[in-house]
A and B are shown apart, each in its own frame.
Chain A
């Protein structure tokens, strides 16, 4: 459809199998096979979306609407049940806390570990190491295992790696909410910087203020379908109205 699309999503569907009997051993499978009940849960029911290169798109919706599933599919953690996801460029995913960290490795080791998984060579990571540590403001803790980190510290390190590896596409799932005010501000400054450099950003947030602040476009997911997409102001107004609230005025 468009030559400059960074993300192309076509008729994307994702189903999960839910088991109530909890068949996770051969024994239960053999003894309880008659009572076995598997339920299908359709989380995404056919979504099509194009994100242009350099665009910043926010995804809103209630819990369970499929936002995180959508991001996980873009990060290739899940395979679609049907439909296609095409991503052009290197992706830096930030799904939940501690984006792909190994708890026993130290901060520095995890920077290398994470960087290598994201497709960088060791020398490329070495070049960026100082920038990443500086940005995370974790220099005094960088040589301790990350299992000792607080959730805020994990988010800092994860964000710091994701924004500094030169990714073309950034996927962010509500991670910015745990950082303190100062770090959050720094993150948004960095996001502006990345956008100016032409990076594509897709993020999930419940923080309306930050959506207004950075998003070019807003997508409202409801029960696995896109209800509305458009400029953040009007989509958010509809979303908040549906939730029974008032849109707070811009200061």
Chain B
């Protein structure tokens, strides 16, 4: 979304203050859409299993790399590759839950944190081992002439990313709140023991939620890779922003993750433009610190603090 910046500078010289703000909002929201998707994918796993996937950034990267492999080496069309990569990541999620999380289920949370970090390291190390330290251009599918609305410029990237994330989120929330599967998921979220009593297989549920989480992470990776280029460290920057979005919206809240992601994207642009461009990198950290100190529950979350 580097394109937005240049346009902003041009507009600045002509002095359209409102247009600058709108342009910043637009690019902030489209970045925020990606953060929202990542935060939501983290939340899905967290709500189901109470595990925060600290290696999620690398799973996001792995999803994008699978698309790259399928398009470049296997010569498959882009859309088919994306669907296949998302399926691969879903299956990987099942495997991670079954093979790596279940065996240490009885241990302390420190083990889960380290397990997810290590699995991420294996993926990142694997990608670096196979492809070296280079940066890969991902084939672009969103090539489109920018749309002009008055002084506002909407680039193809911004347009498609926002559109696709909006569709994905609508589908997700529709499934979650309006279908039978969604109601079962909500039931397990509320009470695992209760769900077990009415015959829900909670173990299989945990596995499939890992699958869904990683698949959604892969979607974010596939959307971001054509814009940010593909490299093994792709995910690391997005992980901390996913955390910031979750914290801002309220840990464990699904709609909070989306709102938090959008707000974070917006805040990054505003801080970066109006205060200092070096602040853009640490907006996420500042938000985490501020939220956890002032209101640990975030915007929509329940109380998380422990009192003894």
A and B held together in a complex: no
B contacts, CB < 8 Å to A: none
A contacts, CB < 8 Å to B: none
